Amino acid sequence: MKKLIALTLLCGPFLLVSCVSKKKYVELENQYNQTRSTLSKTQVEKEEIEAKYAKIEERVASYNAKISSLTEANVDLENNSLRNYGNVVLSKSDKEQMKAALSNVDQTELANARTLEDSMNLIISHNLKKNLDNTLVAEGEEDDITIDVDETVVMITISDKLLFKSGSYRVNPKANNLLSRLAQVINSEPAMEVLIEGHTDAQTVKQGASVKDNWDLSVERSTAVIRKLQDDFGVAPEKLIAAGRSSYQPISDNESTEGRSKNRRTRIVILPNLDKFLALLSAN
């Protein structure tokens, strides 16, 4: 009996310890499961936040790309404006003036205009041709003067017999009326430059003449016309350009008298200056 009691006393603490450890285990297991559940939930939330953040980053990148594209397009437009039209900015008033001027232009030609520069060229060419047709060619001079308009350039070719005596670069007084009318046309349109080209036939200059050769003669004739326009008829010298072509750009043969007569000519090339034209518009 004493042995049984002693054995019971010995086993009691072990049983108690065993029971306490199992409860603790269950409690820890529950805590573990809760922690695991919380961790799993947190992981899901983390993945959802990362997905939302990725979408936000994608949208920001898209907006940045659009901003960059618009910025580049704006720079291209500014560069194009500077390249084509200088530093002139057209105001509402400028555009109204252009619209009024373009209403008088050949509408078929206007339909082919693609840029502001094309429109400016049409306005200037129209005005010049109108003035030239009305005031330049006088009665009896039709065969001595030809007028051509090639896109933006107006070309007036004057026969030598109207301007100079044979072998001379002194302007014939009978050309004064012609040059006076031409000066009026040039002065009526500030936005232009005028190239005066002297042309000769291929005959050799005679020894002892006041000029060395046809190069010399063609340049002298060009500058003689320029001095006349400047000194006698008030054309601004900065608008005038002198050029001598000698005999190297013939429009006919040099074998016949008639052909040589056609080759001896002065060509006046009127060049529109679009920058000045736009500046004039902006000044109004």
Q: How many CA atoms lie within 13 A of 225 on its CB side?
A: 32
Is the same domain home to 115 and 197? yes
Is the same domain home to 25 and 160? no
Is the same domain home to 172 and 60? no
pTM of the complete model: 0.56
How many structural domains are present in the chain?
2
Dihedral class, residue 208 (left if φ above 0, else alpha if ψ from -120 to 50, else beta): left
Q: Are 159 and 224 in contact (CB under 8 A)?
A: no
Task: Print the domain residue range for 139.
Answer: 99-283
* Residue 184: inside a domain: yes
Is the same domain home to 12 and 129? no
Is the same domain home to 184 and 54? no
Report pLDDT for 21.
73
Q: Is 58 exposed, middle or buried (0-12, 13-18, 19+ CB in 10 A)?
A: exposed
* Residue 114: inside a domain: yes
- The 10s digit of each residue's pLDDT in 151-185 is 667 788 888 888 887 778 899 888 888 888 888 88
Residue where a domain stops, chosen among 56, 85, 114: 85
Is the same domain home to 165 and 119? yes
Other Cβ atoms less than 10 A from the Cβ of 121: the count is 20
Give the C-alpha distances (Å, rounded to integers) separating 205 from 62, 166, 211, 247, 261: 76, 11, 8, 11, 15
* Residue 90: inside a domain: no
Per-residue confidence at 104, pLDDT binned at 50, 70, 90? confident
Task: Output phi, psi for 272, to 5 deg.
Answer: -65, 140
Report pLDDT for 252.
92
Cα 221-222-226 angle, rounded to 5 deg: 115
What DSSP element (H or E) covers 150?
strand 145-150
Residue where a domain stops, chosen among 26, 51, 85: 85
* Residue 210: inside a domain: yes
Is the same domain home to 113 and 78? no
* Residue 94: inside a domain: no
What is the residue whose two structure tokens read 């429109």?
119
Residue where a domain stops, chosen among 85, 114, 144: 85
* Residue 91: inside a domain: no
H helices of 86-173, in order, are 92-102, 107-111, 116-135, 160-163
* Rounded CA separation 188/234 (Å): 12
pLDDT: is 273 or 160 the higher one? 160
pLDDT > 70: percent of the chain = 67
Is the same domain home to 43 and 110? no
* Residue 51: inside a domain: yes
Give the C-alpha distances (Å, rounded to integers) separating 236 from 121, 134, 240, 258: 22, 23, 7, 36
- The 10s digit of each residue's pLDDT in 38-64 is 888 888 888 888 888 788 878 777 777
* Rounded CA separation 185/179 (Å): 10
pLDDT: is 146 or 3 the higher one? 146
- Cα first-last separation, the chain: 134
Report pLDDT for 241.
94
- The 10s digit of each residue's pLDDT in 180-233 is 888 888 887 777 789 999 999 999 888 777 888 999 999 999 999 999 999 999
Q: Indicate which CATH number applies to the domain containing 217.
A: 3.30.1330.60
Other Cβ atoms less than 10 A from the Cβ of 224: the count is 20
* Rounded CA separation 8/76 (Å): 101
Alpha-carbon dihedral angle through residues 81, 87, 89, 90, given to the nearest 10 degrees: -80
Is the same domain home to 135 and 223? yes
Is the same domain home to 19 and 62? yes
Eight-class DSSP state of 175? G
Is the same domain home to 144 and 253? yes
* Residue 158: inside a domain: yes
Is the same domain home to 76 and 194? no
